[in-house]
């Protein structure tokens, strides 16, 4: 066990590069949407950002989530290390709670205008592929890590659960941003257990009502439970526009522009700023589940 934990950086880097390579090949073999922007611009800048994010993260924190979980196990810190729950139960519950925390944190980054300024950079990518899943502002990465460390300290999860969670979350983020064409029946079945590219693509729609839905990165259940689930984009997957209204030039895709983006322009389009549906729109019957959650949320807000 100790050897596995000692090799954490190597294990995570190998898993990351393997999944990234697999997704890149899959995107070439079976793309879902037409590509308009040369891959070299987006890939070089999105990957440069990963290097910057990783360096800032390592320099800013003396210990990361897995290291803190090891320390918690050794010293008996946190809930699970105190109550002596069965090991398998502690592993499963820890992974579920970490995933719920990531969901809630994502909702918070959409709802608080200052946090939206940081997170909207993830949404400003003008296309949607595996490297979009890596595009996060370094300050968002630091805030996420601070939240994760607090949770690990309070919960005392088995270190293996944290390591597994980190590897799985990294892999699913690459998978559910990939520009891949999954057969519809497979997507329908798969999205009961994991967030699929079609499910997460709705979250990257330029329409704020769709941007502020489907917050899950890993398990799809939280969106269904909390009423933030939107099954499909109104304009269809080929017809929808990816990104946000505010930053739409190719120059905005460069890493220097990404880093200063939180300071540019107003914080429009966040979850509490989403345009309300007009009364006529609200009276119209809705096709299947599309927009059902957004309508009820908006009408709740209007009353
Ligand atoms: Zn988001
Ligand atoms: Zn995303």
* 228-251 tens-digit pLDDT: 999 999 999 999 999 999 999 999
| pLDDT score for 275 | 59
Average pLDDT over residues 136-158: 97
Distance (Å, rounded) from C-alpha 303 to C-alpha 301?
A: 6
Mean pLDDT for the chain overall: 90
3-state SS assignment for residue 260 = helix
Residue 198 lies in domain: 2-302
pLDDT at residue 280 tops 60: no
pLDDT at residue 75 tops 70: yes
Query: CA-CA distances (angstroms) from residue 254 to 41, 127, 222, 230?
Result: 8, 13, 33, 31
pLDDT at residue 289 tops 60: no
Q: How far is the CA of 131 from the centre of ligand 2 (A)?
A: 10
Distance (Å, rounded) from C-alpha 290 to C-alpha 303?
A: 22
User: Per the structure block, which two tokens stand in for 133?
Assistant: 């899943």
Q: Strand runs (DSSP E) across the chain, as ranges?
A: none
Residue linked to tokens 């980190």: 166
CA angle 14, 16, 17 (to 5 degrees): 70
DSSP code of residue 193:
T
pLDDT tens digit string along 258-273?
Answer: 999 999 999 888 888 7
Q: In DSSP terms, which residues pair with 242 in a beta bridge?
A: 205
Q: How far is the CA of 269 from the centre of ligand 1 (A)?
A: 11
| pLDDT score for 284 | 47
Q: How far is the CA of 256 from the centre of ligand 2 (A)?
A: 20
Distance (Å, rounded) from C-alpha 217 to C-alpha 219?
A: 7
User: Residues 262, 103: contact at Cβ < 8 Å?
Assistant: no
How large a percentage of the chain has pLDDT more than 70? 89
pLDDT at residue 53 tops 90: yes
Nearest to 20 by CA among 54, 46, 41, 57: 46
Q: How far is the CA of 149 from the centre of ligand 2 (A)?
A: 22
pLDDT tens digit string along 179-226?
Answer: 999 999 999 999 999 999 999 999 999 999 999 999 999 999 999 999
Q: How far is the CA of 123 from the centre of ligand 1 (A)?
A: 6
pTM tops 0.75: yes
Q: How far is the CA of 106 from the centre of ligand 1 (A)?
A: 6
Q: How far is the CA of 280 from the centre of ligand 2 (A)?
A: 31
Confidence of residue 281 (pLDDT cuts 50, 70, 90): very low
């Amino acid at each position: 066990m100790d050897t596995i934990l000692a090799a954490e950086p190597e294990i995570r880097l190998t898993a990351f590069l393997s999944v990234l390579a697999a997704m890149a090949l899959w995107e070439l073999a079976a793309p879902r949407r037409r590509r308009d922007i040369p891959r070299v611009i987006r890939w070089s800048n999105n990957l440069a950002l990963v290097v910057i994010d990783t360096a800032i993260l390592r320099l800013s924190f003396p210990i990361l989530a897995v290291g803190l979980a090891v320390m918690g196990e050794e010293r008996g810190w946190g809930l699970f290390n105190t109550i002596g729950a069965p090991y398998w139960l502690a592993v499963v519950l820890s992974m579920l709670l970490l995933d719920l925390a990531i969901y809630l944190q994502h909702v918070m980054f959409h709802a608080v205008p200052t946090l939206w300024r940081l997170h909207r950079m993830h949404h400003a990518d003008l296309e949607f592929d595996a490297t979009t899943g890596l595009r996060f502002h370094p300050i968002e990465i630091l805030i996420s890590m601070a939240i994760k460390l607090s949770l690990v300290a309070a919960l005392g999860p088995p270190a293996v659960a944290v390591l597994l969670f980190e590897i799985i979350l990294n892999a699913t983020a690459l998978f559910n941003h990939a520009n891949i064409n999954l057969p519809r029946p497979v997507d329908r079945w798969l999205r009961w257990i994991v967030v699929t590219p079609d499910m997460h693509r709705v979250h990257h729609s330029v329409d704020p009502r769709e941007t502020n839905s489907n917050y899950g990165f890993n398990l799809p259940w939280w969106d269904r439970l909390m009423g933030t689930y939107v099954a499909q984009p109104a304009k269809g997957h080929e017809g929808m526009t990816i990104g946000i209204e505010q930053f739409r030039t190719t120059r905005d895709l460069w890493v220097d522009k990404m880093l200063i983006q939180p300071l540019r322009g107003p914080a429009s389009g966040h979850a509490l700023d989403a345009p309300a549906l007009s009364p006529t729109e609200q009276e119209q019957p809705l096709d299947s589940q599309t927009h059902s959650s957004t309508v009820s949320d908006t009408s709740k807000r209007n009353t």
